[in-house]
Amino acid sequence: MKLVNRDIAILFFSRSSCEEANQKQWFSGKSQANLQVARCLSEQISEVLKKTGLAVFHFHEGNQVGSTFGERLTNALQEVFHLGYDGVIAVGNDTPELISIDVNDVAGRLAQGDCVLGPSLRGGAYLIGLTKKSFNYHSIRALPWKKAILFESFCDLLRSGGHKIELLAALRDVNSFHDLLALLRNSRIPLDLKRVIKLILIHFTNRFPEIKTTFRVSTLSVRSLRAPPALYSIL
């Protein structure tokens, strides 16, 4: 039986699927394809977080406060800490490989007083685990968010404050069409997610005909992730 630390919470910091689709544009000019990708990624991360048993607080464009990304995330972190939690784990919805990370183990490290950071391949951070002691509102808000030096700067900030940092494996953010293709070659990605991504690729692009010849739509079996309604019409 999994032991759940009730003093640690998860901050799911993401845009709604509609807004994520507008911002990411994995498929140029194809809004329906972008929306379906956004929904798939969000549902997959939501399922991962739900299985932890930890309290999850979702902050999206409807309840985030601030004019910049840094302000919005820092305000959300502060709000969760004000609820009385000793540690907060912040994640987004664009790193499907998060399934390979034991989030409960991260919670355990926070409970022991350590901070935890997961670097993205582009220099950002896909997971930020902070203790209440390490949370400094003004310093964290001033970090170079959305820049390739974020992870390095975050490490410097925490270490300068005397906080121990546990580092996770570097993972890929899914921000482009190329990143979607990379998912299909990644052994850590759930098969159900791969099936839905392949189906979207087959339906919405003719740029990669090899996908059509190597993937048989008739064998699709989407279980843990349900394809959006528009996709069922082509099964």
Query: Could you give the percent of the chain with pLDDT greater than 70?
Result: 84
Mean pLDDT of 141-154: 96
Identify the bridge partners of residue 116 per DSSP, sorted by sequence position: 129, 166
* Structural domains in the chain, sorted by start: 8-167 (3.90.550.10), 177-229 (no CATH)
Please tell me whether residue 55 adopts helix, strand or coil conformation: strand
User: pLDDT tens digits for 8-22?
Assistant: 999 999 988 888 888
Indicate the pairing of strand 165-167 with strand 115-119: parallel
The torsion angle over the Cα atoms of residues 62, 4, 189 and 219, rounded to 10 degrees, is -90
Position 194 scores a pLDDT of 82
What pLDDT, on the 0 to 100 scale, is given for residue 56?
A: 97
CA proximity to 180, closest of 189, 50, 92: 189
Of residues 175 and 225, which shows the higher confidence score? 175
Confidence (pLDDT) at 206: 60
Q: Which two tokens stand for residue 193?
A: 């997610």
Q: What is the mean pLDDT of residues 124-137?
A: 97
| Short-list 103, 160, 108, 104, CA closest to 126 | 103
Q: What is the pLDDT of residue 8?
A: 97
Which one is predicted more confidently, 235 or 76?
76
Q: What is the pLDDT of residue 33?
A: 83
Tokens of 218: 């008739």
216 pLDDT more than 60: no
**Residue 117 pLDDT:** 98
| Distance, CA of 111 to CA of 213 (rounded, Å) | 50
Q: pTM of the full predicted structure?
A: 0.83
Residue 96 has pLDDT above 60, yes or no: yes
The mean pLDDT value for 157-175 works out to 95
Answer yes or no: is pLDDT of 204 > 50: yes
Roughly how many angstroms between the first and final C-alpha of the chain, as a whole number? Answer: 39
Rounded Cα distance between 104 and 124, Å, is 22
Tell me the C-alpha to C-alpha distance, in Å, between residue 108 and each of 5, 49, 82, 130. 7, 15, 20, 12
Q: What is the pLDDT of residues 56-79, one digit of tens each?
A: 999 999 999 999 999 999 999 999
> Which candidate, 50, 70, 42, 14, places its Cα nearest to that of 226?
42
Give the DSSP per-residue string, 181-224.
HHHHT-TTS-HHHHHHHHHHHHHH-SS-HHHHHH--GGG----S
Q: Residue 10 has what DSSP assignment?
A: E
pLDDT at 228 over 70: no
Q: Looking at residue 141, what is its pLDDT? A: 97
**Higher pLDDT pick, 10 / 227:** 10
Q: Residue 234 pLDDT more than 50?
A: no
Indicate if the alpha-carbon torsion angle 208, 213, 218, 220 is positive or negative: negative
